[in-house]
Structure 1
Amino acid sequence: MKRRDIIKGLTILPLASGFIGKAAVLHTTPIPVSTPKRDFFKELDVTPVINAGVTMTFLSGSLMLPEVLEAINSTSHDFANMYELQDKVGARIAEMLHVEAAMVTSGASCAIVLGTAAAITGTNQDKIKQLPNLPGPRPEVIMQKTHRYLFDQAVSTTGAKIIEVDGPEGMENAINSNTVMALFFNAGEKSSITHEQFLQIAKKHSIITFIDAAADVPPVENLFKFQKMGFDLVTFSGGKMIHGPQSAGLLFGRKDLITAARLNHSPNEAPIGRPMKVNKEEMFGMYAALKAYLEKDHHKEWDDWLQRAKHIGARLETIPTVKSKIVVNPGPANAFPSLYVTWDQTKVKTKPKDVLAALKSGTPSIVANGHNDTLIIGVVLLRPDQIDVVASKVKAILQQVV
């Protein structure tokens, strides 16, 4: 879960006083929704969840934008040649991101598989067919020891061996004839090698560089930052704060590597990425999501998040001893504001873990976070109609034990 750890390295901003009117907190964030003709949650007895946390895959990521749903629904009635669609969508995404080439993948983990495969095989069809069981020594991918994380299994899926290094000298010494790629985990807790050092050493030895920045928007500038630095391949999740399909992601960078990655992917028959299909609706949806994300007013969205947090905090602070602060995680992952709530537990006789349990088991079910004696309420994924629901539920739970 390190990618999504919003606890460490926090900057705390004071909560503005005063009640924030409902109109001030409901002016953005998207999400849909007309009354459905058929309630599949009820039909399948699945509990709808209000996400007062962060983007987590087990909670279905984020909610898709109306533009994404429109793209999915409007393209679901016709067939398309998937090679042509990936060509056209990839070209348009590359144009938007100012890169040589891009493709839609089934999430950032798939992008890591495909990027690693591309570094190993290039466009060699024999190698593509043989992955992950190439004859001879295993291909090697360099990673900083402090950058090892849950998702680097995507690298070894290709048959590559991860070589851990510590510091610039360690990276220099680790490079050999079997080295095919160097992977930088952008949300790693600590880096013994800076971005600049990493790129300098890799380029000196003509080693492909890949950066995993899956959860690293906002800010929107990060979508352009790493290719400008010189990374050969970059990946972002599509189903996090870009609000695209949960199962979609972006892989972009050097044209020759994207060409090779596509040869290792569906709809080509039987390469390593064949099981990681992206359907046509997801491709259209990812294109629509990225376009909408790049065009939105990010300053207005940020102000909206702050107003939401202030609004909830003001309601909770009507309970004696309850205090709240807006906390902005400096990133690089999950770099957005959340509301941190504390209270005197001798007066309000409950612990954050008990509040979390009550929220989760309630109706509606609300998932938030906590750390030690702090309740953490995420605001960026709430629908406008859910802001007061969350505030009311938390307040009711706290008032019961005063």
Structure 2
Amino acid sequence: MNRRDILKRISFLPLAATGIASIAAPKDSAENHAAGNAANNNAANNNAAAGNTGNNAAAGNAAPPAVTRDLFAELGVRRVINADVTMTFLSGSLMLPEVLEAINSTSHDFANMFELQDKIGAKIAEMLKVEGAMVTSGAACAILLSTAACITGTDKDKIKNIPNLPGPRPEVIMQKSHRYLFDQAVTTTGATIVEVEGPDGMANAFTPQTVMALFFNAAEKHSVTHEDFVAIAKKHNIPTLLDAAADVPPVENLFKYQKIGFDLVTFSGGKMIRGPQSAGLLFGRKDLIEAAKLNHSPHEAPIGRPMKVNKEEMFGMYAALRSYIDRDHRKEWDGWLERANHIGSRLNALPTIKTEVWINPGPANAFPNLLVDWDQNHFKITPKDVRKALQDGTPSIVTGAHGDKLLIGVVLLRPDQVDIVIQKVKEVLTHAV
């Protein structure tokens, strides 16, 4: 399932869901300093207790620490169980305990943001084995900063005046099948997008105004392959950007595309890397990263100034990436499969229910899910209506769809939420007999 499919599904959710938020610990970073260690302790305790019920520790979403102030209740915001995939309108994913610890432990001191971006960028570049890297406010910001960097370089006048530069508008090449909502980040810089189809069409599209070529990794069709895309652009000495926002797991994707030769690559920080939702990664050629920094905060007037990243998010993103690279990915994957099979075995006890573990082929959201089907002559309700009933219930549970089947995502569930999802799905179905 790619992001285009997910965006289409957003219209299914009622406007009442505007108040939706994650079921993560409700304290903010300023209040939660004392809770950082408790979050780590609770994570260990919950994971240790979960193994016998299919809520394997490798699935890794720990229950929140005890709270003394319930901001969800105070503000009238519903908690949501995310039994689907990572989506921005559902607040991304749940940050790991070590990410919360990084945020909380750095929130009580000031830092020079120029130094911090440089130092963290250098460490991230080292982890990813590239020349340069930076933390951005999400992958969409990384697309804008990449485009701006390719337009301005280090030219101070261009940085000051973008997007209102004199002369013809800069051009960015994209495959026609790769056009998507997020390419507005390109045109925000004043650039125009030139659509191409096939290697020959791309080769003939370069002009003196061409500044960059953008490849949307999760597009359904590629009329130009990754390798040909890079080769054609390099022949014309034009930088390439790969948007792979939701394209881990597998962890190898963090390294795959710069090996192909893309000059810049971006991933979202707040999806399966499980860093701060508003953070992202941009990495690749050092000269382009340095130009992107000049177009970003903490510089006072560039186009990226409104997309600033605070120091806590930078530290949190660093901690999240380190954790993601270092973890046991096979154990995590096996935990997801165990969880999906556990849910399936419980639901299969109902008449006519059939379940199967389905692994999204990716590249976006490439992980296990559980598909649920039933005889609608027995349970007189459609998967769409089951999804609505679950979402409108208490607690609100957001599920997905794959074809005409109900999709239960397992990778974002906390261990204590697994049996809740099972029970609520059973209730909705049995009430429809």
TM-score range relative to shorter protein: over 0.9
Partner of 1:47: 78
Which string of whole-angstrom CA distances, capped at 9 and with x for unpartnered residues, describes residues 145-166 of structure 1? Answer: 0000010000000000000000
Q: CA deviation at 1:322?
A: 0.4
Give 1:225's aligned residue.
256
**Contact 1:67/1:288 (CA < 8 Å) preserved in 2?**
yes
Partner Cα separation in structure 1 for residue 393 and residue 153 of structure 2: 52
Classify 1:4/1:299 alpha carbon distance in 2 versus 1 (closer, same or farther; 3 Å). farther
Moved more, 259-268 or 354-363: 354-363
Residue 381 of structure 2: aligned partner: 350
Partner of residue 368, structure 1: 399
Match of 1:177 in 2: 208
Provide Cα deviations, 1:350-387, integer angstroms capped at 9, x if missing partner: 11111111111111110001245311100000011111
The 3-state SS of whatever aligns with 1:376 is strand
Compared CA separation, residues 362 and 46, structure 1 to 2 (3 A): same
Which region of structure 1 is more displaced relative to structure 2, 372-381 or 172-181? 372-381
2:428 equivalent to 1:397: yes
Q: 1:210 — aligned with what?
A: 241
2:56 aligned to which of 4, 18, 26: 26
Q: Which structure carries more relative contact order (alpha carbon 8 Å, separation 6+)?
A: 1
1:306 and 2:343 correspond:
no
| Alignment map for 1:190-339 (pairs within 5 Å) | 190-339=221-370
Amino acid at match of 2:185: A
The separation in 1 between residues aligned to 2:377 and 2:362, in whole angstroms, is 34
- Does residue 79 (structure 1) correspond to residue 110 (structure 2)? The answer is yes
Residue 326 of structure 1 aligns to a residue whose secondary structure is: strand
Map Cα deviations across residues 178-217 of structure 1 (whole Å, 9 max, x no partner): 0000000000110000011101100001000100000000
Q: In the alignment, residue 211 of structure 2 is paired with which amino acid? A: V
How far the C-alpha of 1:177 sits from its partner, in A, is 0.5
1:278 and 1:341 map into 2 onto residues whose CA distance is 40
User: Quick check: 2:368–2:410 contact (8 Å CA) kept in 1?
Assistant: yes
Q: Is the 8 A contact 1:30 1:66 kept in 2?
A: no
Q: Is the 8 A contact 2:276 2:313 kept in 1?
A: yes
| Separation of aligned partners in 2, 1:97 and 1:185 | 20
| CA drift at 1:349 | 1.0
**Distance in 2 (alpha carbons) for counterparts of 1:335 and 1:372:** 17
2:96/2:320 contact within 8 Å kept: yes
**Paired AA for residue 232 in structure 1:** D
Amino acid at match of 1:386: Q
The aligned amino acid for 2:380 is K
What is the aligned residue count? 390
RMSD: 1.4
Aligned to 2:5: 5
Match of 1:167 among 173, 198, 211: 198
The AA in structure 1 aligned to 2:256 is K
Structure 1 contact 265–276 (Cα < 8 Å) conserved: yes
Contact 1:184 1:211 in 2 (8 A): yes
Superposition deviation, residue 32 in structure 1: 4.6
* Distance (Å, rounded) in 1 between the aligned partners of 2:207 and 2:283: 26
Counterpart AA for 1:25 = N
Shift of 1:326: 0.7
The CA distance in 2 between the partners of 1:27 and 1:88, in whole Å, is 33
Supply the distance in 2 between the matched residues of 1:81 and 1:6 (Cα, whole angstroms).
38
Residue matched to 1:140: 171
8 Å Cα contact 2:117/2:135 also seen in 1: yes
1:116 counterpart residue number? 147
Q: Take 1:21 and 1:68, find their aligned partners in 2: how far apart are those partners?
A: 23
1:17-58 per-residue CA deviation (whole Å, 9 max, x = no partner) reads xxx984442323133521112100000000000000000000
- Secondary structure of the 2:356 match is strand
Gaps of 5+ in 1: 8-19
What fraction of aligned residue pairs are identical, expressed as a percent?
72
- Evaluate the alpha carbon distance shift between residue 21 and residue 397 of structure 1 in structure 2; reply closer, same or farther with a 3 A threshold: farther
Write the letter of the residue equivalent to 1:157. Answer: T
Q: Does 1:105 align with 2:136?
A: yes
TM-score, normalising length: structure 1: 0.95
* Residue segments in structure 2 that go unaligned for 5+ positions in a row: 8-49
Please state how far the C-alpha of 1:5 moved relative to its aligned partner: 3.2
Tell me the distance in 1 between the aligned counterparts of 2:402 and 2:254: 30
Amino acid at match of 1:172: A
Shift of 1:396: 1.4
Asked if the contact 1:248/1:282 (under 8 Å) is kept, the reply is yes
Provide the rounded CA distance (Å) in 2 between the counterparts of 1:32 and 1:126.
Answer: 51
Structure 2 SS opposite 1:370: strand
What TM-score comes out, normalization by structure 2 length? 0.88
- Asked if the contact 2:63–2:415 (Cα under 8 Å) also holds between the matched residues in 1, the reply is no
- SS of equivalent residue, structure 1 residue 134: coil
Find the residue that maps to 1:368 and give its secondary structure. strand
Contact 1:4 1:333 (8 Å CA) reproduced: no
> What is the distance in 2 between the residues matched to 1:395 and 1:34?
29
